[in-house]
Chains A and B, each alone.
Chain A
């Protein structure tokens, strides 16, 4: 049913640290690798080696230049489903294919019910849903529902593939409904934010803004090097020889 659950036991989601994300795309490829054989498989690619590469991905990393009066900086920005508390993508679904689980808050699609009307992708302001033209149904991030409860995996591996792959630990997974959880503490400590809060979809995933600029990086204890001026005579000849 596409009506939203009134109560959720847990609110599983991701916390993404924009300060430490280096934009390496490891989470993107790990996500694709796991999920093209997972719950929503396949993540079809069309013309993968041609001039019009296209395909379904659950996770995309953008790069932005954020310029303020403090200066500019590059921010790498992973974008995926935020598993909102009031997801319009679920309520607009005419068939009941989209649903939000009461047990953990994960937003999923039942592929066998999806008619591919694409309305859910119009209703999502974040671009989290991508249409699989080959299968004719909508696809989206499952929060690796087939990993996080998977008894066949070692306990430490029961996290979404993107979290497991991140080399800088910029991605964290946990219960954001529990204020005592590590992820909730992290959000509180670092001032984690919602994306597009004005839309009112109340995303579960939180983003940690880059840390404030500091003066530390600019102060170098060694003396600045003096400019070397080429001279004539013997030293000039040595300089020219060494410069070659």
Chain B
């Protein structure tokens, strides 16, 4: 599949933003984070900023972005529509939560309730994003039990590493949060390795034989219907060389998991403000790594239409 940057950035940014929002909502509501103006402002600006930037970016690949409002109508059948509805609905409790925290300086009562609702909305929205991909049967690498949990794990992982950077920036970092960030990053690493392993061993029942209805033997593409690449090949026939794929997988592992874990471990020993610098670098490195991961998620996915072209 063609890795359009608008969609790669969209899923990475909203994943991190919703992860952070969910953690802020839950930890704020349960008293693990004390209300403070600047922390509240920075936290809400970072999470809602990532979410908004991602959602805006997603309209970048639309052919007719001025009609995007229509996408809220088909929630009964379409995961994309459900994602749109969930993402907009989440802004309501998230906005109230931010208002209570930043303007009224409190995290109890209705503010806590709004925080918890925002967390639920964030998790639901990430699930909808995951299901858009997981529900697409023609793409075996996406239509897999690894896709939806992957989106949730990566969202939680990027969210907690961002939260750690945020709190460390205010000198509020804790060892428990560091440990949780490391554990979630390890979980993300393990999940990604397991996903790659699963995808590399995929046995796809759809072949050039079933695609053409010609039973038995081999079906070899003799001649395409056209001489140049058409929409189908540009959009769904994207191919990535195996050697590049291996290198990019390595880069993903270093940037998204390896380096952040080392920086987070260093956070245990470093004094403030070096601890905050390490935490911020971990978050930045992980975000860059997740962009590469998401690029590969598209680039390594093979659509069944490529079978018609002998690819």
Contacts and interface: CB of A to CB of B under 8 A. Distances in A.
Contacts of B224: 62
B218 A54 contact: no
B76 A3 contact: yes
Contact of B305 (A4, A126, A207): A126
A128 B77 CA distance: 21
Interface string B51-72: 0000000000111110110111
Contact of B71 (A60, A115, A122): A115
Given A119-B80, A135-B63, A94 B219 contact: no
Interface residues of B, number: 59
Contact of A115 (B64, B132, B236): B64
A115 B62 contact: yes
Interface stretch (B41-49, B100-108, B226-234, B288-296): B226-234
Contacts of B198: none
A54 B229 CA distance: 7
B214 A66 contact: yes
A2 B62 CA distance: 19
Interface string B204-222: 0110101111111111111
B203 interface: no
Describe B's contact surface by its main secondary structure. Answer: mixed
A210 to B, nearest CB: 8
B138 interface: yes
B77 A3 contact: yes
Given A68-B217, A127-B236, A115 B65 contact: yes
Nearest to A200: B137
A28 B226 CA distance: 11
A113 B132 CA distance: 20
Contacts of A193: 213, 215
Interface residues on chain A, size class: 35 or more
Contacts of A209: 213-215
B304 interface: yes
B138 A92 contact: no
Nearest to B65: A115
B218 A66 contact: yes
A189 interface: no
A131 B221 contact: no
Contacts of A132: 63
B225 interface: yes
A74 interface: yes
B84 interface: yes
A77 B62 CA distance: 32
Interface in A171-199: 193-199
21 contacts: A2-B76, A3-B77, A64-B222, A66-B219, A79-B225, A94-B72, A94-B81, A94-B84, A95-B81, A117-B63, A117-B71, A117-B80, A118-B63, A122-B138, A125-B303, A130-B230, A136-B63, A195-B210, A196-B210, A198-B210, A210-B214
Shortest beta-carbon contacts, A-B, top 4: A116-B63, A136-B63, A68-B217, A127-B305
Given A53-B228, A57-B230, A126-B211, 20 more contacts: A2-B76, A28-B225, A52-B228, A54-B228, A57-B225, A57-B226, A65-B220, A94-B78, A115-B63, A116-B64, A117-B71, A119-B132, A122-B1, A122-B235, A123-B136, A127-B232, A127-B308, A136-B64, A137-B64, A194-B213
Interface of A: 1-4, 18, 25, 28, 51-57, 60-69, 74-75, 77, 79, 88, 90-97, 113-119, 121-127, 130-133, 135-138, 193-200, 207, 209-210
Interface of B: 1, 61-65, 67-68, 70-74, 76-81, 84, 132, 135-139, 205-206, 208, 210-232, 235-236, 303-305, 308-309
